[in-house]
Amino acid sequence: MLLSSSACAWRSCSSTVACLAPAAVSSVSSASSNAMRSTSSSVSVTHPMAAALRVLALDQQPLRRSSSSIAALTTITNAGFTLAKAGSLISAEALTLRIRVRGIVGSITNVTRAMSSTTAEASTNTSGQHDKKQSEQPPPRIVGFWLLGISVLTFATVVMGGVTRLTESGLSMVTWHPVHERPPSSEAGWEEEFEKYKQFPEYKMINKHMTLDEFKRIWYMEYSHRMFGRAVGAFFALPALAFMAKGWVPKSLRPRLLAIGCLIGFQGLLGWYMVKSGLDENLLQDRAVPRVSQYRLSAHLISAFVIYALTLWHGLNAIDRNVPFVTSDRRIKLLRAMAKGSVALVFLTAMSGAFVAGLDAGLVYNSFPKMADKWIPDDLLVLKPTIRNFFENVTTVQFDHRILGMTTLATLSAVFVYARKLDLPRRAKAGAHAMAGMALVQVTLGITTLLMLVPVPLAAAHQAGSLTLLTFAMYFLHTIRKAAVVL
Q: How far apart are CA 480 and CA 68, in angstroms?
A: 9
CB nearer ligand HEM, residue 190 or residue 390: 390
Least distance (Å) between residue 402 CB and ligand HEM: 4
CB nearer ligand HEM, residue 97 or residue 445: 445
Least distance (Å) between residue 463 CB and ligand HEM: 4
Least distance (Å) between residue 168 CB and ligand HEM: 11
Query: SS in 3 state form for 71-101?
Result: HHHHHHHHHHHHHHHHHCCCCHHHHHCCCCC
CB nearer ligand HEM, residue 50 or residue 404: 404
β-bridge partners, 374: 371
Q: How far apart are CA 54 and CA 65, in angstroms?
A: 18
CB nearer ligand HEM, residue 50 or residue 356: 356
Least distance (Å) between residue 344 CB and ligand HEM: 12
CB nearer ligand HEM, residue 125 or residue 442: 442
Of 58, 47, 48, the residue nearest 24 (C-alpha): 58
Least distance (Å) between residue 276 CB and ligand HEM: 19
Least distance (Å) between residue 417 CB and ligand HEM: 17
CB nearer ligand HEM, residue 275 or residue 346: 346
Least distance (Å) between residue 347 CB and ligand HEM: 8
CB nearer ligand HEM, residue 238 or residue 289: 289
Least distance (Å) between residue 288 CB and ligand HEM: 16
Q: How far apart are CA 441 and CA 469, in angstroms?
A: 9
Least distance (Å) between residue 59 CB and ligand HEM: 36
CB nearer ligand HEM, residue 274 or residue 310: 274
Least distance (Å) between residue 393 CB and ligand HEM: 15
**Contact residues for ligand HEM, defined by CB under 6 A:** 162, 166, 301, 346, 349-350, 353-354, 356-357, 362, 368, 401-402, 405-406, 408-409, 439, 442-443, 446-447, 449-450, 454, 459, 462-463, 466, 469
CB nearer ligand HEM, residue 291 or residue 478: 291
Least distance (Å) between residue 482 CB and ligand HEM: 25
CB nearer ligand HEM, residue 138 or residue 353: 353
CB nearer ligand HEM, residue 118 or residue 442: 442
